[in-house]
Amino acid sequence: MNSIGDDCNELKKQYDACFNNWFSERFLKGETDDSVCAPIFKVYQECVKRAMREQKIELREIESDYTTASEFDNNNSATGSSGKPQGSQNKS
C-alpha cells in the first residue's frame, strides 16, 4: 500500500516490515519495548508529516489524543443519539 507522500513509499515499506516483525515476534509474545523500530519510524514520520502539510491535511485534528471507547460513546451520545446500542458490552 502506498504512502500519502509519494517520496515516503520506501520509508513506509521499511517501517511496515520492521513493525510487522516486531508485532508478531515480540509484542504479541509479551515484549513491550518498541524501540527497535523507533529510528525508522522517526524518519518515516518526518516524511509523512511533510506530505500532510503539503496536502493541507488538518494536522490539529490528527494530533489530538487517541480515541478511547468511553470518549467515543460520549461524543456520539452528545450529538443526540438515543440509539444506544444494546448488547455491545458483552464483548469487552
Residues found near another protein in the complex (CB under 8 A): 1-4, 8, 12, 15-16, 19-20, 23-24, 27-28, 30, 32-34, 41, 44-45, 48-49, 52, 57-58, 61-62, 66-69, 72, 75-76, 79-88, 91-92
Closer to another protein by Cβ: residue 10 or 75: 75
Task: Identify whether the C-beta of residue 15 lies closer than 8 Å to the C-beta of residue 37.
Answer: yes
CA distance 14 to 23: 14
Q: Which amino acid is at 45?
A: Q
User: Phi, psi at residue 56, to the nearest 5°?
Assistant: 55, 45
33 vs 47: CA distance, rounded Å: 24
**87, three cell numbers:** 448488547
- The least distance separating another protein from the CB of residue 63, rounded to whole angstroms, comes to 8
Name which of 39 and 88 has its Cβ closer to another protein. 88
- Least Å distance between CB 1 and another protein? 4
CB of 10 to another protein, least distance (A): 13
